[in-house]
Structure 1
Amino acid sequence: MNTLNPASSQGAEKKKRSVFLRLLEASRPYRKRFFLAVGCMFIASACNVVPPWLLKNVVDDVLIAKDLAMLNTLPFLLVALFAGKGIASYGHQYLMNWVGQNVVMDLRLRLYDHLQRMSLRYLYGKRLGELMSRITNDVTILQNLVTSVIVNLVVQTATFLGMVGFLLYINWKLTLITFAVLPLTVVILDRAAKKLRAVGHTIQSELAGLSAVVHEAFAAVRIVRSFATEDLELARFRKSNRENFRAVMHGVQVQAALAGIIEVVLIAALAVILWLGGGEVVRGELTPGELIAFLGYLGFLVQPIRVFTSVVSSMQLGLAAADRIFALLDIPEETTSPANPVPLGMLEGRVTFRDVRFSYVPGQPVLKEISLDVRPGERVAVVGATGAGKSTLVDLIPRFYDPDSGSVLVDGADVRTVDLRELRKQIGVVPQDPLLMKGSIAFNISYGLPELSLEAIRGAAETAGIAGFIESLPEGYDTEVGERGVTLSGGQRQRIAIARAVVRNPRILILDEATSSLDLEVERQVQAAMNRAMKGRTSFIIAHRLSTVRNADRIIVLDEGCVAEEGTHEQLIAAGGIYCRLHALQFRGGEGTE
C-alpha cells in the first residue's frame, strides 16, 4: 500500500495546478480558432458594458438637457450595439465549442488508446465500469468545462473588469466603498471552490461506482438469473444510486448556499451605495444620470458575479474530472517498444526463459527462477495446480508483462529489445474464454487484418475444423456472431478463435486452457483442430485436462512457481511424481478411463 509523504503531496498539488496548462497544451493545434473565439468574447463583453452608459446619456442629455439629436442617435446605437453583440456571441459560441469539442475528442482518443496499452496488471485490478466512466462521464464533464465554463469565465471576467472601469470613471469614491465588500466575496468563493472540488471528486467516484455495478450485473446476467439474485443486484444498484444522489445533492447544497450568500452581500452593498449616491445627487456632486448609470453598473455587476459562483461549481467539477483523466494518462505503460528496436524478421520460433522471476504483488513471487529452452516447432505443455503460474509463464512471451528479473528471449533476442507489434504479429493466442467481437464470422477470423482475402479466411477455418459449419449457414462467412459471440456454441467460438490465431501464420502458438470448458465430444473436435494448428509451429499448451497434453513433445510441470518436473507423458507417469498424481486424480487410477 502506498503511503502519502510530503513529496508525493507536493507532486499531486503540482499536477492540480497544471491542469489548465495541460488543457491549453491540448488546444494548441486549434489555437487560431481559439484566439479568434477569445476576440469575439471580448467584443461581446464590450457590448455588455456600454448600455448603462447610454442610460446616463438618456437621463442627462435627453430627459434633462432636451438634446433631440442625441435622442435620434440613441436608438440606432442600441440596435447596432446589440447586433454586434449577437454576431460576436454567435462567433465565440461556435468557435469555442468547435475548439472544445476537438480538444475533448482528442483527449477521449488519447485516453482510450492509453487504456488499450496499459499494463494488464493495472487493467485486471480495476473494475471495468470505473474505467468506462473515465471515458464517458468524466470526459463529458470536462467537455462542459472547455466549452461552456471557460467561455463564461472569459466573457464575465471581461464584462466585470469593463464595468469596474466605468464605475471608477463615474465616481471612484463610491466604487472603493462598494468594493470594500469584495474581500469577503473572494474569501467565500475560495472556500466554496475547495469544498466544491472535493465534492466533485466524490460525485465522479460515486458515478463511476454506479457504472461499475451496472456493467457487472449485465455482464453476468446469466449468473444473476441462474441464482435468482435479481433482488440482490437491485439492492446493490439502489445503494450505489442513493450514494450518488447524496453526493450530487451535497454539491447542490453548497452551490445554492454560495449563490444566496453572494447575492445578499452584493444587495447590501447596493443599498449602501443608493443611500450615499442619493446624498451626492442632492448636494449636486453627482448628476442623476451618473447615479443611475452607477446603480445600473452595480446591478449588471451582480450577473457576472452570480455567473462566477455557478462557474466556480462547474469549474471544480470539471477540474476534478480533468484530474482523474490526467491521473490516468500519467500512469506509465508497463510494456513499451524500445526507441531503437532490434529487427526481428521472420521467427524460427525458439523461446528461452533465463532465470525468470515474476510477481504481481511485490514480495509474493508467482514464478521463481524459471529456465527453459524451447526448440523451434516443439510442442510444450505446461501443467500444474491452479495458481502454479502456467498462464503467467506464457504471458511473458508476447510481453503482456515483463519479468521482475531474468529475461525471455525469442530467437535469441530479448523480447524487451524488439518492437512489440512485430513480436505479437508472429504470436497466435487462443484464450480459455474465446471472446468474439460483434460483427461477422469473417471479421472475427480476420480481426486486425482487414486486407485478408476470403480464401485465406476459409483456409484458416478449415485448419480449425469449422469451415463446414460456417458454409452451412445461410449467410456463410457474413453471418453475424452477436455480442461476445452469443449466437455460437462454446466449441464453435473456440474453433473460430483457433482460426483467428492461425490465419496470421504465427511462428509461436499459445493455447491457454483452450478446451477446459468443453464437453468430451467437442473437446475431441477442438483438440483435432489444435493439432492441425500446431503443425510446424512452436506451441505452448496450457491445460488442466491432462488428456489434451499427452501427445506433447515435452510436458513442463509447475509447482508453486518452479519447474518441478519435465519430460514426456510416459516419462512423467513412470517417474511417479506430481504429474502422475494429477493424472491419477483425473482418471481415477489409470489410463484406461481416458
Structure 2
Amino acid sequence: MANSEMSSKDLYLRLLRYILPYWRVFAVSVVSTIAVAATEPALPALLKPLLDGSFVNRDQTLIKLIPLLLIGLFLLRGIFTFTSNYTVNWVSTKLVTDLRNLMFQKLITLPTPYYDNASSGEVIANVAFNVSQVTSAGTNVITVLVRDFFTVLGLLGWMLYLNWKLTLIAFAIAPITALIVRLFSKRLREMSRSSQSALGDITHVLDETLGAHKVVKVFGGQDYEIKRFSEATNRARRFSMKQTVAASANVPLVQLVAAIALALIIYFATLQSSGNQTTVGGFVSFITAMLMLLAPVKRLTGVSEALQRGLAAAEIVFALLDKEPEPDSGTIEIPHTQGALEFQNINLEYEAGSHNLALKDFSLKIAPGETVALVGQSGSGKTSLVNLIPRFYHPTSGQILLDGYDTTTIKLTSLRSHIAFVSQDVVLFNDTVAANIAYGQQQATIEAITAAAEAAHAMEFIHEMPQGLQTLVGENGVKLSGGQRQRIAIARAILKNAPILILDEATSALDTQSERHVQAALENLMQNRTTIVIAHRLSTIENADRIVVMQKGRIVEIGNHRKLIEQNGVYANLHRIQFVHENTQTAQ
C-alpha cells in the first residue's frame, strides 16, 4: 500500500508503470530532448572559430559559414524543442487522465464505511487537483533530467576539450551540489504532502458551506464559515511558504557554489591567457560554456522540488488505488427471485471492539410479497437493518437469506439488481427528468419511462415543465419540490421493477397534499413486491401485513396494526402520542 513510508524509488518506479502504455510517444520526447541537449554545446563551439577565424585571422569562408550554421542550429533546436514539449505534455495529460479514471473507478467500488469516514472535499481535491501534480514526477522530471544531463555532459565535454585544467574546478562543485540537494529534498517532500492535505481542507470547507448555504444564512453562520475558510486557506499558505523557503534556499546555495567555481575559473583562465596558453576564441568559448552550464545545473537542482511534489501526490493517488473495494465473495447469480427474506440471529457492530451493537440477535422471516413495516425511535436499528440487505454493511454475526441463499454467496451485482430503494433523502442527478427516472436502466424506452412516471403520479407536474421529460432538474433536483423529487424517485423504482422494495421514511418530510400523491404512488409501487417500510408517520403503515417494533436493535413487538393496538404496548403508546400530536397540529 502506498504511504509515507514507501521509498521514493518504489513510488517512482510504480508511477513509471503507468507511462509504459505510451512508451513510443515518450521515447520520441526523450530522443527530441536529447537532440535539444546535443545542440547546446554547439553554440560555444561555434564561438571559437567565429572569434579566432573571423575577427583574428579574417577567414572569409568562416565569416560566411558561421552565420548560416547559427541559423541552422537554432532551426534544429526549434523543431526538436517543439517536438519534445508536445510529446511530453501529451504523455503527461494521458497519465493524469488515466490516474483520475482509475481513482474514480476505485471510489465507486469502495465500501460504504469509507464514505462514512472520508472527507468529500479532500477526496474531490485529490481527484481534481492533487493528481495533476504527479506529472511533475512522472514525465516533467524525466524530461529535465535527460535534457539537462546531456546538456551538462556536452558542455563539460567541450570544456574538457578546450581546457581540462579549468574544467576540473567545475567538477569540484558536483559533490557539494549533491549534498545541498539531498538536505533539501526531504523537507520539500514533507511540505508538499502537507500542502496537498491543506488543499483538501479548503475543498472540504467549501463543499460543506455551499451544500448548506441555506442553513448558513438562516442561522447566521457566515462569520463562522468565513473564519473556517480563512483558517484553511492560511494553513495552506503557511505550508506553501515553507515549501517556497526550502525550494528558494536550495537554488541560490547551488548557484553560490557555482559562482565561486566560476570566479576561480575566470581567474586561472586570465593567468593562462597572459601566458599565451589559450586563444581569445578558446577563452570566450570556455566561459560561454561555463555560463551556459549554470542554467541546466540550476534546473537539475530545482528538479528536486517538482520531484518531491509529484511523489507526495503519487502517495495520495496510490493510497486510494490500494484501498480494498467492498468485499464480494459471492459466486451465485440469481436471475429471478421470489423475494423471501430471512434474518437469522443478526448482530451488527459498526466499530470492532466498541461493544456497541446496532442490532442484537435480530431474527425475522419475511414472506414473498409481504409488506413489513419497521417502527421505533431514532437509534433503534431500523436503517441499520435495511442497509444490510443490499450489503452496504455486513453483519458482525448471523446470516441473511434470500430465497434460501445466504446473501454473501450471491454476487453483489446480482443481489442489488433485485432491490429498489426509496428514501426521504432523494438523490437526483443534474440531468433530465427522463435520465433520472431511467438511472441505471439506460436501455429503457421513452414509453417505459413515461409509464413509470404515470404510475408514480409524476406526469401531472412533468407535463407542466418547459421541456417535459427532457427538463433539467438542477443539482440534486433543486428546481423541484420535495414531493416532486419523491415521485421521480418512486418512478425510478417502478421502472427498475425489482421484487424487493425498501422504503426509508419516504413520506416523512412531505406536506399533507404531497404525501397523498406520494402515498398513492407508493401503493402502485408496492404491489406484488416484498416491501420493507421504515415508518415515521404510523398512519402510513396501518395496512402493512406486519409491523415490527424495534428498541435498541431488538424486536420488542410484532403483529398487524389492529393486534398491536389491542396489546396496548410500545406500538400503541407510540401511535397514541403521534395521534395526539397530529390532532394538536390540526387544531392549530
Scaled by the length of structure 1, the TM-score of the pair is 0.92
Query: CA offsets per residue over residues 348-394 of structure 1, 9 Å max, x none?
Result: 11222233333222123322333322221111112222122211211
Per-residue CA distance 1:254-300 (angstroms, 9 max, x = gap): 22222222211111110011112322333344444333333222211
Instruction: Say whether the 8 Å CA contact 1:587–1:593 is kept in structure 2.
Output: no
Is 1:137 equivalent to 2:114 in the alignment? no
2:349 — aligned with what?
Answer: 359
Deviation at 1:509, TM superposition (A): 0.7
Aligned to 1:386: 378
Letter in structure 2 aligned against 1:127: S
Shift of 1:535: 0.6
Q: What do the CA deviations read for 1:50-97 (whole angstroms, capped 9, x no partner)?
A: 211222333344444544433333222222222111111111111111
- Compute the RMSD of aligned alpha carbons: 2.5
Partner of 2:172: 180
Paired with 2:467 and 2:37, the residues of 1 have a C-alpha distance of 62
CA offset digits 1:523-574 (Å, max 9, x no partner): 2332222122111011111123222222221222332223333322233333
**1:51 alignment partner, one of 43, 52, 68:** 43
1:271 match = 263
1:181, 1:147 → 2: CA distance? 27
The residue type paired with residue 171 of structure 1 is: N
Verify: 1:40 aligned to 2:35, yes or no: no
For 2:171 and 2:554, locate their aligned partners in 1 and report how far apart those are by CA, in whole Å.
Answer: 75
Alignment partner, residue 4 of structure 1? none
* Alignment-derived partner of residue 293 in structure 1: 285
Q: Residues of 2 paired with 1:408 and 1:174: CA distance?
A: 82
1:529 aligned partner: 521
Residue type of the alignment partner of 1:560 = K
Q: Does 1:441 align with 2:439?
A: no
* 1:9-28 pair list within 5 angstroms: 12-14=4-6, 16-28=8-20
The code of the aligned residue for 1:139 comes to: V
Letter in 2 for 1:464: A
Q: What does 1:122-521 align with in structure 2 at a 5 Å threshold?
A: 122-146=114-138, 148-336=140-328, 338=330, 341-364=331-354, 365-521=357-513
Specify the code of the residue in structure 2 equivalent to 1:281.
Answer: S
Residues 382 and 550 in structure 2, CA contact (< 8 A), matched pair in contact too: yes
Residues in 2 aligned to 1:240 and 1:437: alpha-carbon distance in whole angstroms = 29
Amino acid at match of 2:35: I
Is 1:335–1:401's contact at 8 Å kept on the other side of the alignment?
A: no
Where 2:431 maps in the other structure, the secondary structure is coil
* Counterpart for residue 3 of structure 1: none
For 2:283 and 2:398, locate their aligned partners in 1 and report how far apart those are by CA, in whole Å.
82
Q: Distance in 2 between matches of 1:477 and 1:298?
A: 71
- Taking the aligned partners of 2:52 and 2:401, their CA distance within structure 1 comes to 89
C-alpha distance in 2 between matches for 1:501 and 1:229: 38
Residue identity matched to 2:224:
L
Q: Secondary structure at the match of 1:529?
A: helix
- Deviation for aligned residue 1:462: 2.2
Change over 3 Å in CA distance of 1:31–1:59 after alignment to 2: same
Checking the alignment, whether the CA contact within 8 Å between 1:457 and 1:503 is kept in structure 2 is yes
Shift of 1:151: 2.4
1:589, distance to aligned residue in structure 2 (A): 9.5
| Comparing 503-512 and 116-125, the one that deviates more | 116-125
Aligned length: 584
Unaligned runs of 5+ in 1: 1-7
Q: 1:205 to 1:14 in 2, by over 3 A?
A: closer
Q: Which moved more, 1:49-58 or 1:169-178?
A: 169-178
Q: Cα 1:360–1:174, aligned 2, differ >3 Å: closer, same or farther?
A: farther
Mapped contact 2:12–2:137 kept (Cα < 8 A): no
Give the secondary structure class of the aligned counterpart of 1:353. Answer: strand
Does the C-alpha gap of structure 1 residues 235 and 103 become closer, same or farther in structure 2, counting only changes over 3 Å?
A: same
1:120–1:346 distance in 2 versus 1, CA, 3 Å: same
Q: Per-residue deviation at 1:521? A: 3.4
Change (3 A) 1:55 1:427: same
Q: 1:582 is matched with which residue?
A: 574
Matched-pair contact (CA < 8 Å) for 2:136–2:309: no
The alignment status of 1:104 with 2:92, answered yes or no, reads no
The question of whether the paired residues in 2 share the 8 Å contact of 1:335 and 1:399 is answered with no
Give SS of 1:310's match.
helix
The offset of 1:428, in angstroms, is: 0.6
Check conservation: 1:436, 1:485, Cα contact below 8 A: yes
* Per-residue Cα deviation, 1:452-507 (whole angstroms, up to 9, x for no partner): 12221122112222222222434322222222112211111111111111111111
Secondary structure of the equivalent of 2:558?
A: strand
Q: Comparing 402-411 with 263-272, which one deviates more in the overlay?
A: 402-411
CA distance in 2, matches of 1:585, 1:230: 38
Structure 2 length as normaliser, TM-score?
0.93
One-letter amino acid matched to 2:413: R
State which drifts further: 435-444 or 37-46: 435-444
- Comparing 567-576 with 44-53, which one deviates more in the overlay? 567-576
Most deviating of 569-578 and 494-503: 569-578
How many angstroms apart in 2 are the aligned matches of 1:157 and 1:388?
67
> Larger deviation: 465-474 or 261-270?
465-474
User: For the structure 1 residues 589 and 329, does the alpha-carbon distance in structure 2 shift closer, same or farther, using more than 3 Å as the test?
Assistant: closer
Aligned partners of 2:381 and 2:552 also within 8 Å: yes
Contact map agreement 1:334 1:401 (CA 8 A) in 2: no
Q: Which amino acid aligns with 1:203?
A: S
Instruction: Percent identity, please.
Output: 39
Given that 1:335 and 1:402 are in contact with CA atoms closer than 8 Å, whether structure 2 keeps it comes out as: no
Question: What is the rounded CA distance, in whole Å, between the counterparts of 2:98 and 2:264 in structure 1?
Answer: 50
SS of equivalent residue, structure 1 residue 40: helix
Q: Is the 8 A contact 2:4 2:315 kept in 1?
A: no
Which amino acid in the other structure matches residue 344 of structure 2? R
Q: What amino acid sits opposite 2:458 in the alignment?
A: I
Counterpart secondary structure, 2:107 = helix
| Residue 235 of structure 1: how far off its partner (Å) | 2.0
SS at match of 1:19: helix
AA partner of residue 350 (structure 2): Y
Q: Is the 8 A contact 1:42 1:158 kept in 2?
A: yes
Q: Do the aligned residues in 1 keep the contact of 2:12 with 2:138 (CA within 8 Å)? A: no
Q: In the aligned structure 2, how far is the partner of 1:418 from the partner of 1:150?
A: 48
Q: 1:145: Cα distance to partner?
A: 4.5
1:56-135 pair list within 5 angstroms: 56-135=48-127
Distance 1:15 1:390 in 2: 47
Question: Could you tell me how far 1:513 is from its partner in structure 2?
Answer: 1.4
Secondary structure class of the residue paired with 1:370: strand
Cα distance 1:225–1:53, how it changes in 2: closer, same or farther (>3 A)? same
